[in-house]
Structure 1
Amino acid sequence: MSILSDDALHRLLSDDAPYGDLSTATLGIGAVTGRCEFRARQAMRLCGSEEAARLCELAGLQVSEPARSGTPLAADDLIFVATGTAAALHHAWKTAQVLIEWSSGIASRAARIVAAANGVTVACTRKSAPGTKALSVKAVRAGGARMHRLGLSETLLIFAEHRVFLSETPGETIARLRQQEPEKQIMVEVSDIATAVRWARAGADALQLEKFTPAAVAECRAALSANAAHSTHATRPPLLAAAGGVDADNAAAYVAAGAGLLVTSAPFYAPPCDVAVALCAC
Structure 2
Amino acid sequence: MLYISDATIDQYIKEDVPYLDLTTYTLDLAGKKGKIEFICREEAVICGTEEVLRIFRKLNILPSRHISSGTKVQPQTSILAAEGNAEDLHMAWKVAMNILEYSSGIATRTNKILTKARQANPHVEILTTRKIFPGTKELAIKAVLAGGGLPHRLGLSETVLIFKQHLNFIGGIEGLIPRLSELKTKLNEKKIIVEVETIEEALLLCQAGLDGLQFDKVALPALNKAVELIRAKNNRIVLLAAGGINEQNAVLYAGTGVDGLVTTSVYFGKPVDIGTIIEQV
The TM-score normalised by the length of structure 2 is 0.92
Q: Which residue of 2 aligns with 1:158?
A: 162
CA deviation map 1:78-134 (0-9, x unaligned): 111111111111111111001111111111111111101112111111121111121
Query: 1:223 offset after TM fit, Å?
Result: 4.2
CA contact (8 A) 2:48 2:99 kept: yes
Moved more, 237-246 or 74-83: 237-246
Q: Which residue of 2 aligns with 1:247?
A: 246
Q: Which residue of 1 aligns with 2:150?
A: 146
Number of residues paired by the alignment?
275
Q: Which residue of 1 aligns with 2:220?
A: 214
Q: Which residue of 2 aligns with 1:135?
A: 139
Instruction: Give unpaired runs (5+ residues) of structure 2.
Output: none
- Matched letter for residue 99 of structure 1: I
CA contact (8 A) 2:48 2:100 kept: yes
Cα distance in 2, alignment partners of residues 238 and 59 from structure 1: 51
CA deviation map 1:180-220 (0-9, x unaligned): 11222221101222211221121212110001232221132
- Matched letter for residue 259 of structure 2: G
CA deviation map 1:16-68 (0-9, x unaligned): 12231121111122221111111111111111111012112211211124211
2:43 counterpart of 1:43: yes
Q: 1:194 aligns with which of 192, 200, 209?
A: 200
Q: How do 1:262-277 residues align onto structure 2 when only pairs under 5 Å count?
A: 262-277=261-276
- SS of match in other structure, 2:276: strand
CA contact (8 A) 2:34 2:280 kept: yes
Specify whether residues 225 and 280 from structure 1 end up closer, same or farther in structure 2 by C-alpha distance, changes over 3 A only.
closer
The TM-score normalised by the length of structure 1 is 0.91
Q: Which residue of 2 aligns with 1:182?
A: 188
Specify whether residues 256 and 102 from structure 1 end up closer, same or farther in structure 2 by C-alpha distance, changes over 3 A only.
same
Q: Which residue of 2 aligns with 1:94?
A: 94
Instruction: Give unpaired runs (5+ residues) of structure 1.
Output: 229-234
CA contact (8 A) 1:171 1:202 kept: yes
Cα distance in 2, alignment partners of residues 164 and 259 from structure 1: 26
Query: 1:157 offset after TM fit, Å?
Result: 1.0
Amino-acid identity (%) = 37
2:210 counterpart of 1:204: yes
CA contact (8 A) 2:197 2:217 kept: yes
- Matched letter for residue 197 of structure 1: L
Query: 1:222 offset after TM fit, Å?
Result: 3.9
- SS of match in other structure, 1:257: coil
Cα distance in 2, alignment partners of residues 89 and 217 from structure 1: 53
Moved more, 164-173 or 242-251: 164-173
Q: How do 1:76-91 residues align onto structure 2 when only pairs under 5 Å count?
A: 76-91=76-91
Cα distance in 2, alignment partners of residues 32 and 276 from structure 1: 22
Query: 1:243 offset after TM fit, Å?
Result: 0.4
- Matched letter for residue 16 of structure 2: D
Cα distance in 1, alignment partners of residues 141 and 17 from structure 2: 27
Q: Which residue of 2 aligns with 1:232?
A: none
CA deviation map 1:125-158 (0-9, x unaligned): 1121111121111111000001111111121211
CA contact (8 A) 2:170 2:176 kept: no
